[in-house]
Structure 1
Amino acid sequence: MKKNDSPTVADVAELLKQEGFTPSESELEALTGYLTLVLKWNKVMNLVGPYSWRDILTILIIDSLHLNAFLRSLPLPEGLTTWDFGAGAGLPGIPLRALWQEGEYWLVDVREKRTMFMEQTVKRLKIPNTNVVNDRVENFMEQHEPADLMLSRAFMPWKKLLELVGPNIKQGGRIVVLALEGAPADLPAGWSIEKEISYTVGKDTRYFWSLVQA
């Protein structure tokens, strides 16, 4: 593996194999392309902080690979609509969409420079059915039909999240939360825990909760 900061597809494949993942060649190309663009933009704006490409891959992007497996384990409807709020640097959404391209996907962020990055990245990588919106989530939800699935990674505390987004999730729809702790026992009425998993990244234990609206 090269020691410089310009990862190749082979570099990414080798490191992901060490983490237990073996994406296809096309998936590896998309993941490497995303990683390369993050590194480029990170030099002029603080997208992800002062990480090396290896750290970006094994600390940040790795969540998307675990999330891909988690979503495939859920009984999701065909042609679903997915919302990803506070999408920032496109994590977990853009690497996820390199692997999981079900339905229509919306990346929403109020920060203009972040949405510029995401728009150009989605276009450059030719990721299908993936939309980028620069707006407040309240405005976005007013202008769109309820979603089947919403993904939340550090967007806001889960109680506030359910209050804000819950009324805009379809009956029987889901909110999947990426968290550093297990699912709460005190969910509000109308919500239940469908599935929860945990996995390790370095010294951290991370969790996915799928919360279903009954």
Structure 2
Amino acid sequence: MTRAALHARLEHGLAALGLALPGQAVERLLDYQALLERWNGTYNLTAVRDPEGMVTRHLLDSLAILPYVRGATLADLGTGPGLPGIPLAIAAPGREVVLVDSNGKKVRFLREAIRALQLEGVRAVQSRVEEVEGRFDCITARAFASLGDMLGWGGHLLAPEGIWLAMKGKPADEELPGIPPGFELRARHALEVPGLDAERHLLVLGHVPASGAVTAA
């Protein structure tokens, strides 16, 4: 598929999602896809091989959660080759983004992507999630682990008023009892990813408000 055809597919998908991105964002997203495709041949970073599939399963799938992202700082845990962190950073620049993965070859790719795409405010950290330090307004995790494991390993990274965006295929009802004390499910959204014939759900979690505190609507 040509670059022009990929561009048209991405633009069509963004329109279906109701997203208007800043100037040059579409081209930068396709630059990221091309870089991922090139590195994937050697490093096996993703099971998705074809460019059309990458646009749908990686770019549009990541950007489907953009309306729910908030705050000045974001940590993407178990980011792999930068999903959803890099597409989110391109689509909404100006936020501090930390991409976390324990796999060395994936972090090498992330650092090259950050350099090549000139992603300001974005950095890659090779680490186990439980060893990462800091507090973040928003945390994303895409098919990374169960809700219980996600929050057990990385709950310390969520700022007091922050939100955790867990991307899932199925609704994950069976995982809800495993949510650790101190955290709660705030909302669940069924996502429609253009061109993707598969279930996608976003679970929004946060800290249980302290006694007497008022949760924002």
User: The residue matched to 1:43 in structure 2 has which SS?
Assistant: helix
Cα distance change on mapping 1:200 and 1:163 into 2, 3 Å: same
* 1:51 Cα deviation from its structure 2 partner: 2.0
**2:106 & 2:201 partners in 1: Cα distance?**
25
Aligned match of 1:179: 168
**2:48 & 2:91 partners in 1: Cα distance?**
26
1:33 maps to which of 22, 31, 34: 31
Query: Does structure 1 residue 211 correspond to structure 2 residue 195?
Result: no
Aligned match of 1:115: 107
Query: Does structure 1 residue 169 correspond to structure 2 residue 169?
Result: no
In structure 1, stretches of 5+ residues that fail to align are none
**1:82 & 1:205 partners in 2: Cα distance?**
25
- Counterpart residue identity of residue 90, structure 1: G
**2:172 & 2:163 partners in 1: Cα distance?**
14
User: The residue matched to 1:49 in structure 2 has which SS?
Assistant: coil
Identical positions, percent: 25
In the alignment of these two chains, the number of paired residues is 199
The answer as to whether partners of 1:183 and 1:196 remain within 8 angstroms in 2 is: no
**1:166 & 1:24 partners in 2: Cα distance?**
32
**2:200 & 2:183 partners in 1: Cα distance?**
22
1:128 maps to which of 120, 124, 133: 120
The answer as to whether partners of 2:79 and 2:85 remain within 8 angstroms in 1 is: yes
In structure 2, stretches of 5+ residues that fail to align are 210-217
- Counterpart residue identity of residue 122, structure 2: T
- Counterpart residue identity of residue 78, structure 2: G
The answer as to whether partners of 2:141 and 2:166 remain within 8 angstroms in 1 is: yes
Relative to the length of structure 1, the TM-score reads: 0.84
Counterparts in 2 of 1:1-40, with a 5 A limit?
3=1, 7-8=2-3, 10-19=4-13, 20=16, 23-40=21-38
Aligned match of 2:62: 64
Q: Aligned-pair RMSD on alpha carbons? A: 2.0
The answer as to whether partners of 2:167 and 2:201 remain within 8 angstroms in 1 is: yes
* 1:183 Cα deviation from its structure 2 partner: 5.4
1:51 maps to which of 49, 52, 58: 49
Query: Does structure 1 residue 106 correspond to structure 2 residue 98?
Result: yes
* 1:188 Cα deviation from its structure 2 partner: 4.3
Residues 103-127 of structure 1: CA distance to partner in whole angstroms, max 9, x if unpaired? 3110011111110100010111111
Counterparts in 2 of 1:75-154, with a 5 A limit?
76-77=70-71, 80-140=72-132, 144-154=133-143
Structure 1 runs of 4+ aligned residues shifted over 4 Å read none
- Counterpart residue identity of residue 129, structure 2: V
* 1:96 Cα deviation from its structure 2 partner: 1.3
- Counterpart residue identity of residue 151, structure 1: T
* 1:27 Cα deviation from its structure 2 partner: 0.4
User: The residue matched to 1:44 in structure 2 has which SS?
Assistant: helix
